[in-house]
Amino acid sequence: MSITTKLAAGLAATLVFALPDPAGAEPSRYEEPIRYRRAVMTMVKRHYDQVAAMAKGTVPFNRNEFGRHAAYLEMLSRASLDGFVPGSHEGETKAKPEIWKEWSRFQGLAERFQSETTRLRDVARGDPPDKLKAAVADLTKVCKTCHDDFKAPAVGG
């Protein structure tokens, strides 16, 4: 290999490493809030699935476990809005831009979510199972309304 070829190859390699890599491009300023809300919603789903399964009878009812999951849901409901910063509908997210166009309505649903999880936590402390089922059903309605109106469907579904 001639010296000119070696220099050209070295220069090419230097340029490849110096130029921005599209795959390693600087992350969007919305990446962190999107990751945050995804994490919160993943945990919400986990705890919701447990209380819903107990309410439906597909998992044996255990008041202590139900109460623990309800307490987590109540805490997570208070953290849920923190990940919805203006503009964070851009990027890899299922959050629709309508969230920010209809912020008052979205915030109202988030407040209902908080209210219903607080109610669920409270009834878990000693109310009969039929009241627990009703509380889970009411929570489900709030979640469904928000998802129907403000969450884009999964790709292909």
Residue-level pLDDT at 27: 61
- How many other CB atoms are there within 10 angstroms of residue 55's CB atom? 22
In a domain, 11, yes or no: no
Does the residue 17 lie in any domain?
no
Q: Is residue 120 part of a domain?
A: yes
The pLDDT value recorded for residue 60 is: 94
Within a domain: residue 61?
yes
Q: Does 73 reside within a domain?
A: yes
| Domain with 106 in it | 29-150
Number of domains within the chain: 1
What CATH number has the domain bearing residue 67? 1.20.120.10
Q: Considering the domain boundaries, does residue 138 fall inside one?
A: yes
Task: Let me know if residue 18 belongs to a domain.
Answer: no
Give residue 130's pLDDT. 83
Report if residue 21 sits inside a domain: no
Look up residue 70 and give its two tokens: 């309800």
| Mean pLDDT in consecutive groups of 10 residues from the start of the chain, 157 residues | 49 41 62 94 98 95 95 96 90 92 97 97 89 95 97 74
